[in-house]
Amino acid sequence: MSSSCDSKSPTPPHPRRPPGPNRRSALGAVFAAGACGGCFGTPSALAPQLQGSVGMPHNGVQTGAVELPRSGKGFARFRPFGTAYWGQPELVTAIREVAERTEQSFGGPALVLGDLSARWGGKIPRHNSHRSGRDVDLLWHLLSVDGTPHTAVGFVRVGPDGLATDPATGRLYRLHVERQWETVKAFLLSDDVQVQWMFCSQWVEALLIDYARARGEPDELVWRAETVMLQPADSLPHDDHIHLRISCTPKTSLTGCEGGGPYWEWLPPLPTLELTRADLQEIGQHDPLVVEANDEVVARE
């Protein structure tokens, strides 16, 4: 059963299509989260400030991870005995809450989850990213051809017509567009996480956005969904699952979380280091060393 998420990708996914009017403004505003690319370290006793999600999704690690249980209200792991079901606590909480909420609305089959990350992060099989506890793969919500909700049958490819054939059995399924949209929407509106990407194929995005517009969802919500849903240009098309990545936050960006994509303009601003002259003088007063006029460094008395 193939579940390769981005294993063919030598680099993190990048946008394929040119930025539209809306996307351009978001992209232009906010590459702050990636601005420090390559300057992350490794959590250790010598770097106690690094914790949680550290580094970028394609080269990071994590501490304080939580394991997603094998099953719970409205969700189940695709690989019950897999070792890559560890994520940052807020991601695991969001998965559980979204799954429970959609189960309350729709009942029926659980949301099935592919890999998250290894307990301490780093490279795992089948993926290039998924290294810093911020990534998870969501299998499709499916219907049988008669319209009955059906448990995800693995990583099956959904075509532009919304149909999917299970290669193992030859059975035909349909994307459960209504429930799939509710899942996307619930993550976007989650109080636990900030969504950075939902990598999926262009045609699945089109099906979901068409449905959202027809249903009269708020323009702002639809725009955010259009912005974060993207078919990666340099990895598999993601027509057999959605790859969800959460963004760094103002807090986690101070403890080593980095990049993985744009920091969208609707997210709370990241902290910046803007020191005034007065700040510098205040700091200087506590410096035990002073540079004399002859460039000699002496200890402050």
Residue 118 interacts with Zn ion (CB under 5 A): yes or no: no
Residue 239 interacts with Zn ion (CB under 5 A): yes or no: no
Q: Which stretch binds Zn ion (CB under 5 A): 31-39, 131-139, 156-164, 268-276?
A: 131-139
Q: How far is the CB of 110 from Zn ion (least distance, A)?
A: 19
Q: Which stretch binds Zn ion (CB under 5 A): 29-37, 134-142, 166-174, 283-291?
A: 134-142
Q: Which stretch binds Zn ion (CB under 5 A): 147-155, 226-234, 236-244, 255-263?
A: 236-244
User: Going residue by residue from 4 to 43, which x/- string records binding to Zn ion, judged by CB under 5 A?
Assistant: -x--------------------------------------
Cβ-contact 271, 250 below 8 angstroms: yes
Residue 157 interacts with Zn ion (CB under 5 A): yes or no: no
Cβ-contact 88, 291 below 8 angstroms: no
In the set 150, 174, 176, 243, which binds Zn ion (CB under 5 A)?
Answer: 243
Structure tokens at 7: 């294993």
Burial 130-142 (b: 16+ CB within 10 A, else e): bbbbbbbbbbbbb
Cβ-contact 100, 132 below 8 angstroms: no
Residue 238 interacts with Zn ion (CB under 5 A): yes or no: no
User: Measured between alpha carbons, how far is 231 from 209 in angstroms, rounded to an integer?
Assistant: 14
Residues 6+ apart with CB under 8 A from 177: 162, 207, 208, 211
Q: Which residues make up the interface to Zn ion (CB under 5 A)?
A: 5, 137, 243
